[in-house]
Amino acid sequence: MEEDKRDYEIFLGGDNVGFERLVLRYKDALIQFIMRYIKDIYLAEDLAQDAFVEVLLHKERYRMDMSFKTYLYTIGRNKAIDYIRKNSTIVFTEDYAEAGAAIQDERLLEEQVIKEEEKRELYQWLKQLKPEYERVLYLIDLEELSYAETAKIIGKSENQVRVLIHRARKKLQQLVQDKKA
C-alpha cells in the first residue's frame, strides 16, 4: 500500500513511471475482478483499460486515505455495471479457467501450473454460487481485501459484507461436502 502511494505521488508529480508501475501491478487482477461481472475476457480487458484511462485523466480524484487497489476496483466495478446497463444482452462465452489461462504469462513454472489448477477448481466451485457470494469471496479470499475495502467496492456496508462472506463460505462448504458425499 505504501508502494502504491509512493508510485501515485510520482505520477501526480508528472512522471508517468509511477502510473506504469501501478498498471503493471494491478492490470491482471483488475481484469480477473471485472470477469466476475462480465464473462468475456476481451471485454474485461477493455473495461480494465477504461478504468486505468479514467485514473490517468482524473488523477486528482484519488484520495490517499484509501488504498489505490480499492479505488481502482471501484472504478472497474462501475465500468462493468455501466456496460451491463447499456448492453443488456451480454454473451457469456468465456469460462473463468480459460480467462485465467489467457492472462497467464507464458513462462509458467511447475508451481504456477499447480496453482492454476487449484484456481480453476476454485472458480468452478465459485460459479455455482450466487453472483454476490462469488464476488465477495473473490475480493476477500482471493484478492485479500479487507471487509471495509470490499464494502466500498461492492457498494454495501461493512456489516452486510460480513453477513455475505459468512453465508458465501457456508454455502461453498456445503457444496464441497455434497460433492464428496
Residue 39 and residue 97: Cα distance in Å, rounded?
Answer: 11
Could you tell me if 153 and 77 lie in one domain? no
CA distances to 44, 78, 98, 120 from 35, rounded to whole Å, are 6, 13, 11, 14
Q: Which residue has the higher pLDDT, 125 or 53?
A: 53
Same domain, 159 and 127: yes
Residues 6+ away with beta carbon under 8 Å from 48: 27, 30, 31, 34, 76
Same domain, 57 and 146: no
> What is the separation, in whole angstroms, between the first and last Cα of the chain?
43
Greater confidence (20 vs 105) lies with 20
C-alpha cell at 81: 455495471
My answer on whether 86 and 141 are in the same domain is no
DSSP 84: H
Q: What is the pLDDT of residue 181?
A: 65
Residues 59, 110, single domain; the answer is no
Q: pLDDT tens digits, residue range 68-117?
A: 888 999 999 999 988 888 886 544 444 544 444 444 444 444 555 456 66
What CATH number does the domain containing 162 carry? Answer: 1.10.10.10
Which one of 39, 69, 95 terminates a domain? 95
Alpha helices (H) along the chain: 2-12, 16-34, 41-57, 68-86, 96-103, 110-126, 131-137, 147-154, 158-180
128 and 84: one domain?
A: no
pTM of structure: 0.57
Q: How far apart are CA 118 and CA 56, in angstroms?
A: 35
Number of domains in the chain: 2
Domain that residue 176 falls in: 104-181
Band (pLDDT 50/70/90 cuts) for residue 44 is very high
Are 71 and 13 members of one domain? yes
From 95, 114, 135, the end of a domain falls on 95
- Residue 90 and residue 113 in one domain: no
Q: Are residues 58 and 79 in the same domain?
A: yes
- At residue 129, φ and ψ (nearest 5 deg) are -95, 165
The domain spanning residue 59 has which CATH number?
1.10.1740.10
